[in-house]
């Protein structure tokens, strides 16, 4: 076992894909309880539920834009081995959950209202979490971090602590001023193109390029890239005009007067060193206003810190686990 995993049960073997496919995935599939909930407007939400032996609490894992819960298998495995039960689900328009009608390609990612994501999270918390042991914590990445931030501001009593991984407090807009990008997206929506992709983007067409990815570990990147390529329901890759407009507007909601100040649980936010997906300054503005907020900066990482090379990933994840275990002290 020691040849395969580090002290926190992350994969340390150089044959990463073999360990994932032959050890971790079969074990998770055996222990997973799947459940489908009706989210906002009765859109189905695919939930993956895991109960740890002698559980010390429960962590809700909330994925980011164009992702799904399956992508977090290594983290879920580590949480279980550290005696945390896990609740994870594919957010609307992603993975195995439902999509709205009228989308032209399976890689197109759309939402009518960003608050629909928050309403879905409320449904999961109200319906599933009561069956799982407390304390309840949340680990949320990127877009999931934006959803979690809004939820924590509106429903501050649910979670005992929250870890936000490179959260999308404000999305990066490829050098275009956010106001101009919002204007263009709103114009497209007014012309009936809200469910279309921006004209300069391409649909998913096959394996992706590691050099331009959000990962820094080739083995972790290759493992999931192969899975994504083989499963059409995992092809999410491009936003709709409506999704982009909603993502830009969410910053104002998260940073509204008094909003971050209303969060009562401890929050730890990690910023990636080389992040071209979200903007770092709004992350700092947000966490500085959270009463029990702390901030860490992760060197030599890209947006997906959980797909970093071992020398970056291992100590960062150990910090995550230590933060989640503080509730016991």
pLDDT in tens, 177-201: 999 999 999 999 999 999 999 999 9
Q: What is the pLDDT of residue 329?
A: 45
Do 57 and 82 form a contact (C-beta atoms < 8 A)?
A: no
Task: Report the share of the chain in percent with pLDDT over 90.
Answer: 97
CA–CA separation, 323 and 317 (whole Å): 10
**pTM beyond 0.95:** yes
Residue 320, C-beta contacts closer than 8 angstroms, at least 6 positions apart: 139, 163, 268
Asked whether residue 328 carries a pLDDT value surpassing 80, the answer given is no
Mean pLDDT of the chain: 97
Q: How far is CA 148 from CA 25, 40, 45, 163, 172, in A?
A: 27, 16, 17, 9, 19
Average pLDDT over residues 129-155: 98
Cα radius of gyration rounded to whole Å, the chain: 19
Task: Report the share of the chain in percent with pLDDT over 70.
Answer: 98
Tokens of 107: 């890689």
Q: What is the DSSP string of 68-124?
A: -GGGGHHHHHHHHHTT-EEEEEPPTTSTTS---TT-SSTTEE--S-THHHHHHHHHH
Average pLDDT over residues 89-96: 98
- Nearest by Cα to 122 from 154, 92, 165: 154
**CB atoms < 10 A from the CB of 129, how many?**
17
Q: Which spans in 155-256 are helix H?
A: 178-190, 218-230, 241-254
Average pLDDT over residues 141-156: 98
């Amino acid at each position: 076992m020691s040849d395969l995993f580090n002290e926190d049960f992350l994969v340390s073997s150089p044959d990463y894909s073999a360990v994932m496919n032959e050890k971790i995935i079969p074990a998770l599939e055996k222990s997973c309880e799947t459940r489908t909930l009706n989210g906002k407007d009765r859109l189905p939400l695919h939930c993956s539920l895991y109960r740890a032996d002698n559980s010390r609490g429960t962590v809700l894992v909330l994925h980011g834009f164009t992702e799904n819960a399956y992508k977090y298998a290594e983290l879920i495995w580590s949480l279980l081995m550290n005696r945390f039960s896990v609740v994870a689900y594919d957010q609307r328009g992603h993975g195995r959950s439902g999509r709205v009608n009228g989308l032209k390609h399976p890689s197109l990612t759309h939402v009518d209202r960003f608050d629909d994501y928050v309403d879905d999270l409320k449904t999961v918390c109200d319906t599933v979490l009561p069956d799982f042991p407390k304390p309840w914590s949340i680990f949320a990445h990127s877009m999931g971090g934006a959803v979690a931030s809004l939820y924590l501001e509106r429903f501050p009593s649910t979670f005992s602590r929250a870890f936000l991984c490179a959260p999308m407090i404000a999305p990066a807009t490829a050098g275009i001023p956010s106001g101009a990008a919002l204007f263009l997206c709103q114009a497209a929506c007014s012309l009936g193109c809200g469910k279309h992709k921006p004209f300069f983007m391409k649909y998913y067409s096959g394996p992706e390029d590691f050099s331009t990815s959000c990962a820094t570990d080739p083995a972790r990147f290759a493992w999931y890239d192969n899975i994504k390529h083989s499963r059409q329901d995992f092809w999410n890759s491009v936003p709709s005009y409506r999704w982009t407009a909603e993502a830009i507007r969410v910053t104002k909601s998260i940073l509204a007067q008094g909003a971050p100040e209303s969060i009562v649980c401890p929050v730890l936010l990690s910023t990636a060193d080389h992040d071209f997906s979200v903007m770092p300054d709004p992350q700092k503005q947000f966490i500085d206003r959270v009463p029990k907020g702390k901030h860490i900066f992760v060197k030599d990482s890209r947006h997906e810190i959980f797909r970093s090379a071992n020398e970056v990933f291992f100590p960062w994840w150990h910090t995550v686990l230590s933060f989640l275990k503080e509730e016991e002290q």
